[in-house]
Amino acid sequence: MRLLVKFSAIFALVFCLGIAIIGWLSYGLMQDAARAQVLDQARLMMQAALSVRTYTTVQLKPLLEPESVRENRFLPQTVPAFAATENFNDLQKTFPDYTYKEASPNPTNPRDRAVDWEADIITAFRNKPSLKELTGEREASTGRSLYFARPIRAGADCMECHSVASAAPKTMIAQYGSANGFGWEPGGVIAAQIVSVPMSVPLQIARDDFRAQLIYLGAILLVSLVVLNLVLYFTIARPVERLSEMADKISLGQFDVPELPIRGNDEIARLAGSFNRMRRSLVTAMRMLGDSGGQ
């Protein structure tokens, strides 16, 4: 096997081993980074929902309440939870993998009723008032899902309609009934904002990033191998090949071969100088033997 081929094989083996180690170490980091990226998007979406709730309470509700009284009908658009959910449903057209729900164990609107795992989140917020947000994973019908949740507490504006059924607008009672959505305690956790996304989303992001990283590393490997081969050829393989050719010719008695050029002061240059001196010494020795034989 040629010297250059041996070096190339060694370099390729080392590079492939390095890529394998980098890939093994980085894939987990990429999964964590993708998970954090998805949670950051969930935070932005939840903050957008909070902004819609505030806008509904501060600006929209005062405008629509007189309308609802005049027409003697309940307008759900004045409810912050309804407005936030409807806004997110529109946002879901752009982010179809994300879901949003203001889950409550005692909601006015039945669609907001908490299922078991959502009720567990609400209980966690109630048991630990200092808990501001909660993230985790759960098993869903479509596989594992990642969720991000924040508590919703009953404010003064909530208590106007949700303290007791008799205090609620009759139009609201007519639409949703008097069995649910009442008995809330001021400042208590009444619901939780929950954004869910399948784990397949961050895992796919991690796989795409990992695939891109392998492609870049593979390209760097190929370029590095080509550059190293060129460097090895001109600095080691080619000079050694010339030395080998010179040694072969001298061993066959061809002393008229030109001396090797010496460039630099490295080991190859010193070896070439040694070969040149050996050649001159052999030529001198053979001439001396020839002269003594002629006498």
Tell me the domain boundaries of the chain: 3-207, 255-295
* pLDDT at 178 exceeding the cut of 90: no
Sign of CA dihedral 232, 235, 240, 246: positive
**What is the pLDDT averaged over residues 1-8?**
71
- Which of the four pLDDT bands, split at 50, 70 and 90, describes residue 56? confident
**What is the pLDDT averaged over residues 219-224?**
86
The residue with greater pLDDT, 103 or 260, is: 103
Burial category of 195 from C-beta neighbours within 10 Å (exposed 0-12, middle 13-18, buried 19 and up): buried
* pLDDT at 1 exceeding the cut of 60: no
**What is the pLDDT averaged over residues 230-258?**
75
Residue 238 CA to chain centroid, in angstroms? 46
User: Following CA atoms 106, 132, 32, 199 in sequence, which dihedral angle do they give, to the nearest 10 degrees?
Assistant: 10
Residues contacting residue 220 through CB under 8 Å, at least 6 positions apart: none
What predicted TM-score, i.e. pTM, was given to this entire model? 0.66
Q: To the nearest whole number, what is the mean pLDDT of the chain?
A: 82
* pLDDT at 49 exceeding the cut of 80: yes
* pLDDT at 168 exceeding the cut of 50: yes
- Which of the four pLDDT bands, split at 50, 70 and 90, describes residue 81? confident
Tokens 């030529």, residue located: 283
